[in-house]
Amino acid sequence: MPTTSTFRHTVPDGTVLHVRSWLPEGPPRAVVQVVHGMVEHAERYAHLGERLADQGYAVHAADHRGHGRTAGGPGELGHLGDEDGFAAVVDDTVALTDHLAAEHPGAPVVLLGHSMGSFLARAYAARHGDRLAGLILSGTAGDPGLSGRLGLKVATLEARVRGPRARSRLMEALLLGPYNRAFRPNRTRFDWLSRDEAQVDSYAADELCGGTATAGFYRDLLTGLLWVSEPSTYARIPAGLPVLVVGGEVDPVGGAAAAEEVSGRMRRAGVRDVTVRVWPGARHEVLNEVNRDEVEADLLTWLDARFPR
């Protein structure tokens, strides 16, 4: 029977991360470190954590700085830092990996990033891929191109004029506003997340989810996404790192096209073991979709093939 626990881990700059863990009986076959998305938190991965732990994996998920219980209060939610917040979260993730490696000696580490977490995971793999035995990307995005560069200019200007901690309804409207359009008539603001109405309602009711992020957050997010989209960044990912790219066919963040773009660019950069799985009709959060049992089973199939008992 898997066990659930929490702990706090202090990273080098003094930030204290709140970490949720789902642990198997006995030594784990591998560690799966979850990197969650924007304006959400680690507890939302409980179903996945329990399923993987039941199959022998140790699962750990930290609330990022400015998210969940790592945030110092409502005023800190949706803000990664006054400057270089994206890089700071990558560093936090690396620091937690080092701690987990000490807690589970000899166990390989797989990084699983969703949405913004997939951008962070791609940056991690480019900078510190030698620490990883596997990489899973969920709900990732392709190169944002000119619109991403223009968005970065707007967010940077707003952060400079109003301050990096100013809540940016402008950037929220520009980046997130279009996501629901494909699912009209809309029942909620968050229909684009999943076809499972109970999951959407749970997200909408969660005070730690869905808030308006800061201008500094959007500046940092777009800075990170643009960097991981560079050919030189793809080239830094270790050629031998196994990668699984998963997504929903109609995910407005990127969908099937982004999954194919990212996986294709990895292969062209020399990454040898890249697998893609896209589920028809699924939206952004495939781990909270109506077919999430199938999604989890497919993740386990990929993991089990690389980390046999």
Dihedral angle computed from the Cα positions of residues 103, 16, 24 and 33, in that order, rounded to the nearest 10 degrees = -90
Work out whether strand 57-62 and strand 16-23 pair parallel, antiparallel, or are unpaired.
antiparallel
Look at residue 252 and tell me if it is in a domain.
yes
Partnered with residue 21 across adjacent β-strands are: 5, 60
Look at residue 209 and tell me if it is in a domain.
no
CATH code at position 278: 3.40.50.1820
Partnered with residue 137 across adjacent β-strands are: 113, 245
Provide the residue range defining the domain that includes 267.
Answer: 3-143+230-306
Look at residue 77 and tell me if it is in a domain.
yes
Look at residue 217 and tell me if it is in a domain.
no
Look at residue 43 and tell me if it is in a domain.
yes
Look at residue 309 in the predicted model and tell me its pLDDT. Answer: 86
CB-side exposure of 283: number of CA atoms within 13 Å? 19
Q: How far apart are CA 53 and CA 102, in angstroms?
A: 19
CB contact set of 246 (below 8 Å; sequence gap of 6+): 136, 137, 138, 139, 259, 276, 277, 278, 279, 286, 295, 298, 299
CB-side exposure of 234: number of CA atoms within 13 Å? 20
Q: 């030189």: which residue's tokens?
A: 232
Look at residue 98 in the predicted model and tell me its pLDDT. Answer: 98
Look at residue 164 and tell me if it is in a domain.
no
Look at residue 113 and tell me if it is in a domain.
yes
Predicted TM-score (pTM) of the model is 0.98
- Alpha helices by DSSP H, listed for 18-71, are 46-54
Look at residue 139 and tell me if it is in a domain.
yes
In 3D space, the residue among 281, 228, 245, 222 whose CA is nearest the CA of residue 138 turns out to be: 245
What's the structural domain count of the chain? 1
Look at residue 218 in the predicted model and tell me its pLDDT. Answer: 99
Count of beta carbons in the 10 Å neighbourhood of residue 8: 11
List the chain residues with pLDDT less than 50: none
Look at residue 301 in the predicted model and tell me its pLDDT. Answer: 99
Look at residue 72 in the predicted model and tell me its pLDDT. Answer: 87
Q: How far apart are CA 73 and CA 267, in angstroms?
A: 42
